[in-house]
Structure 1
Amino acid sequence: MLLVLAITTANWGQIIDVFARPELVRATVGPALLRALGNTILYTIGAFVFGMFFGTLLALMRLSEIAPYRWLARAYIEFFRGLPAIVVFIAFGLLPIAFPGMLIPFDPYGTVWVALGMVASAYLAETIRAGIQAVPKGQVEAARSLGMPAGMAMRKIVLPQAFRIILPPITNELILLVKDSSLVYVLGLSMSGYELTKFGREASQANANLTPLVVAGFCYLLITLPLTVLVGRLESSAAKSK
């Protein structure tokens, strides 16, 4: 009832003028928007790959029999899970000031991949660890009884099954990374490095209207909605296989 009342009494002319002005929608949709969309995807994919690799290493360290490995991995995970991602980006933005002449390869992409990937790896590590622990221990014991070294058993027996188990939550983490890529704006990138949020903010300020920012927001949906559907299908497939 409240929704119907809001729809019928809203000043739609004013709403469209502020948030969806047609001529600004047409002006926003162009090469610059596509470049920002591409940058958002590149930032996300690079950070996800970094996070998966480092997160797997951290998960193995958490499960290690060597106590210092466990302590180090746990300290890292707790630190970066408790730290807002924007603080990590600010810290990386200050690196050139703290260390003059320091360059991260493939900047700005490399900077974003490492900064966002470090945060992602802390969350992915716990997910991967849970997946490893969910694999029946009997399979590892059977592999070891056949003479397979522990490292090979982990690579060929445990990890493939663990990743199948945790595929839905990993995909959810990818969706969160897409959204967290909006924090890249704090790095003060040039126009060629803009992601969707930075592009939308700059275009909105230039036009004194929020339409470009709304268009950029819808572009996030173009990325996240297919991933959300994929998560649903993966969860359904996992439920049927049980």
Structure 2
Amino acid sequence: MIDVSGINVDLGGRPVLADVSLSVAPREFIGLVGPNGAGKSTLLRVIAGLLAPHSGKVAFGDADIASLTHRERALLVAWLPQVRPVAWNLIAEDLVALGRFVTSPSPYDRCGRADRSAIDDALERAGATPYRHRPVHTLSGGEQARLHLARTLATSSRALLLDEPGAALDIAHRLSLMKVLQDECAAGRAVVAAVHDLDLASRFCSRIIVLDQGRVVADGAPDVALDAACLARVFAVRRNANGVFEPAG
């Protein structure tokens, strides 16, 4: 579905990604992990077509992402950034309706039946139905995060790219989020999510890609990519006898 080849990015005169290559297939749930500043957000933005690399290519099938229109790109990939400001105090269900903008650029009550059904389903899966009629600015950070997740789920995109989707959520909703994303993969979508919680990534993701200093240093099943050597070298942690992370050394 997605092929990333030889991506190099410099920002502010500093190399952020160096010769990054990877592929993403349908039904894969990829956890993108790494320490702060490893390049996770930058890589997701490049894959989404929001940041042009200095060299390298991102292709969706036979199409170079740089050649796609905004509409064509939106049909292929949905993007959930780490920072999600809402300038207007929209009603919650109208914010989620933005996920259907390609097919129905309208508020919820003007959407067609199929679009409203997709929005309703996304709100339910994100756990946001109880406050669908409230203004967004009256909601907590966690409630807004679930709305943004619903907006992403409501799209018809074939791949979902999410940057720290659980950052504002409590543990119960983080677990629910990861299960929802797992279900999206089972239904045929590809998911790539930047995740800081290694336990959650190991439990739910089918594949882990580890970035360190802008390079892919491990790629594989969770127990392979996050082996003892990688944990110590990249994250400076180890698992103790109870499987709990603790500082290495």
Tell me whether the two structures share a fold, i.e. TM-score over 0.5: no
Higher relative contact order (CA 8 A, sep 6+): 1
Highest Rg: 1 or 2? 1
Greater helix proportion: 1
Greater strand proportion: 2
